[in-house]
Structures are given as structure tokens and as C-alpha cells.
């Protein structure tokens, strides 16, 4: 069976990807430095014969023999990636370079999980893959946004220069079980707040929009791109668009009808709106999301209740 490396495999997205790969019979090496992920996220996989957990920081090179690399390792939420911005940039640049070099040596196929943040505060709406973005390169989000942009550059150049087989996806906001409780993301915040009887914190006016994709749709999209014939970049997201107020209303409805809202000051550089144009992946590879927000929110309540002890 195929040997598949998942960097950042003990994180939110990575652990769901490991679940999928292990269950279809791949031999999975899950690599993580546990900065934002945890052993707990993959605890249920530890006794599988085709799963292996390695503590390693992708900033350092590593010698392995693998056939496929899903490169996810990178802090993903502002509260984490702003914690040590230089380290975040190193993770993005050196981590990607190290994994590309590993892919080149092993002749493995490499997929990088880039982000909708490469579009920054977009002037085109919805965003197609051809849009070059509107990104501040010296702001507080830059370590992440520019880190991912240059990671895409390295990926394309590795293909152009060495013929490394690469795939690029740009993930839009994703939610589901195992999201870090302390990641400050809007879905995890609202659901936790609604479950623990605290008011849901809406930043700014709450009129900014996002599109939210359920984790199972993302995993299907990632695997589809990895196995497809095209490099990308491909947007992987759910085009349903919601204001933060609409999201709060929906959480109230689905999670706790007694939940309340409180408005708080917004952070700088917060993109005003974001919504994927998924024409490219839909027409080229036939992928599209299946889970609507209302259903997805319901699917994460049990996990959050358990972890919050309510």
C-alpha cells in the first residue's frame, strides 16, 4: 500500500485527512510538532497497523521514503500565527521547501494546503484562482498570507525547475469537530460561547462575510486534487456566503436558542468579504461541497460538548 506523509497531521484538518487515508488502507506517516495540534486528535489511530506518528518540526529537513506528501503543517488561525510571526514565516517557507525536496528525492507527489488568504482583502468577488489578490505585505497578517504566497511560488518553481509533481489547493474557511477550542476562529468561538452560555462575540459591525466549508467536503476536495491530473491552484471551499451576524443567528438556532450576541472591536487587516468561485475544480474534477452550514454546525456540537465538558 501507498506510503503517505501528512505534515500537520495532528491538527484539525490533518487528523481528518489521516482518518480518511488510514481507513482506505494507505500507510500513513503523520508528522507534527504539536504547536497547535495534539496527540489527542489522532489518539484513536495510534493502534492501527497502518498509522505512525512522528514528532518533527518541518523547519528542519527529514529523511523518509514516501509516495505522497500532503503538506499541511502551519499554524492556521490568527491567534496562533501571530504568536511568533518569524517562526510562522519559517514554517511556511522552510517547511514547504524541505517537503518539496523530500518529494523530489522520493519522486513523490506533493500537495500544499494554501489558503484563501492569498487573496487578502479581495477586490474581486467571488474570487477565482486567476485573481492575484490584495495583500498587505507588512501587516500583522503578512507572516501567514505572504508565507503561503511564497510557499505557492516555491511549489510552482519546484515543478518548473525540477519537474516535482505538485498540487496546490487554496482552502477557504473550514469548520468541524476537533477545531482547536482556543483558536479564536469565528465558528469555534460562537459554538463554544453558545454552549457555555457566554455571549457570542461579533467583531466590528458583523457585516463582513465568509463562506464556511464542512471538514468532510474539504477532505474529499483535497484527495480529489491530489489524485487528479492538474497542478492547480484550485479553490476548495463552500460558496455559501454569510455575514458574521447571520452566522451567529444560525448558531443560536442550531446550538442554543438562548445564545446572545455582543459586539467587540475588530482587528486590523480583517478582510471584508470572501467567497470562493469553485467553477475550476467543479468543471475540471467534478468536486463540489455537499454539507450546508446548518447541517455542519449540528455535526460538530457533540464533539464540542465533550471537549468543553458541558
Ligand X SMILES: NC(=O)c1ccc[n+]([C@@H]2O[C@H](COP(=O)([O-])OP(=O)(O)OC[C@H]3O[C@@H](n4cnc5c(N)ncnc54)[C@H](O)[C@@H]3O)[C@@H](O)[C@H]2O)c1
Ligand Y SMILES: O=c1ccn([C@@H]2O[C@H](COP(=O)(O)OP(=O)(O)O)[C@@H](O)[C@H]2O)c(=O)[nH]1
The residues of the shown chain that bind its own copies, judged by CB under 8 A, are 84-86, 89-90, 93, 97, 118, 120, 132-140, 142-143, 146-147, 149-150, 152-158, 160-161, 168, 233
Nearer to its own copies, 276 or 296 (CB): 276
Asked if 171 is part of the footprint of ligand X (rule: CB under 6 A), the reply reads: yes
Part in contact with ligand X (CB under 6 A); list of ranges 44-52, 57-65, 154-162, 248-256:
57-65
Partner that binds at residue 233, options ligand Y, its own copies, ligand X, none, CB closer than 5 to 8 Å by kind: its own copies
Least spacing, CB of residue 302 vs ligand X, in Å:
19
Partner that binds at residue 302, options ligand Y, its own copies, ligand X, none, CB closer than 5 to 8 Å by kind: none
Partner that binds at residue 95, options its own copies, ligand Y, ligand X, none, CB closer than 5 to 8 Å by kind: ligand X
Nearer to ligand X, 137 or 258 (CB): 137
Nearer to its own copies, 66 or 168 (CB): 168
Which residues contribute to the site for ligand Y (CB under 6 A)?
A: 33, 35, 57, 75, 77-78, 83-84, 87-88, 91, 173, 184-186, 189, 201-203, 208, 210, 244, 266, 270
259 Cα distance to chain centroid: 27
Chain position carrying cell 460561547: 193
Residue 162 a catalytic site member: no
From the list 33, 50, 164, 192, which residue makes contact with ligand X (rule: CB under 6 A)? 33
List active site positions: 144
- Interface residues with ligand X (CB under 6 A) are 8, 10-14, 32-37, 57-59, 72-76, 91, 95, 113, 115, 171, 173-174, 180
Amino acid at each position: 500500500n501507498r506510503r503517505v506523509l501528512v505534515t500537520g497531521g495532528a491538527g484539525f484538518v490533518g487528523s481528518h485527512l489521516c482518518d480518511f487515508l488510514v481507513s482506505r488502507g494507505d500507510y500513513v506517516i503523520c508528522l507534527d510538532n504539536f504547536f497547535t495540534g495534539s496527540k489527542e486528535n489522532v489518539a484513536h489511530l495510534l493502534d492501527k497497523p497502518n498509522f505512525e506518528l512522528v514528532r518533527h518540526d518541518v523547519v528542519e529537513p527529514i529523511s523518509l521514503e514516501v509516495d505522497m506528501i500532503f503538506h499541511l503543517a502551519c499554524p492556521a488561525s490568527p491567534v496562533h500565527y501571530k504568536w511568533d510571526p518569524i517562526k510562522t514565516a519559517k514554517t511556511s517557507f522552510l517547511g514547504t521547501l524541505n517537503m518539496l525536496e523530500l518529494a523530489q528525492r522520493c519522486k513523490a507527489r506533493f500537495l500544499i494546503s494554501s489558503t484563501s488568504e492569498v487573496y487578502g482583502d479581495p477586490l474581486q468577488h467571488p474570487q477565482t484562482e486567476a485573481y492575484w489578490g490584495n495583500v498587505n505585505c507588512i501587516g500583522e497578517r503578512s507572516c501567514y498570507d505572504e508565507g503561503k504566497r511564497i510557499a505557492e511560488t516555491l511549489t510552482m518553481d519546484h515543478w518548473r525547475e525540477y519537474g516535482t509533481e505538485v498540487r496546490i489547493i487554496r482552502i477557504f474557511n473550514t469548520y468541524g469537530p476537533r477545531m482547536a477550542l482556543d483558536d479564536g476562529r469565528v465558528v469555534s468561538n460562537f459554538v463554544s460561547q453558545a454552549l457555555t452560555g457566554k455571549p457570542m462575540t461579533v467583531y466590528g459591525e458583523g457585516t463582513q462575510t465568509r463562506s464556511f466549508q464542512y471538514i468532510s467536503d474539504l477532505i474529499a476536495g483535497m484527495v480529489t486534487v491530489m489524485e487528479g491530473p492538474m497542478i492547480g491552484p484550485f479553490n476548495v471551499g463552500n460558496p455559501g456566503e454569510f455575514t458574521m451576524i447571520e452566522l451567529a443567528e444560525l448558531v443560536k438556532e442550531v446550538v442554543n436558542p438562548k445564545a446572545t450576541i455582543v459586539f467587540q472591536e475588530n482587528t486590523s487587516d480583517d478582510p471584508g468579504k470572501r467567497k470562493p468561485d469553485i467553477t475550476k475544480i467543479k468543471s475540471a474534477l467534478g468536486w463540489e461541497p455537499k454539507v450546508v452550514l446548518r447541517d455542519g454546525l449540528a455535526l460538530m456540537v457533540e464533539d464540542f460538548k465533550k471537549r468543553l465538558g458541558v
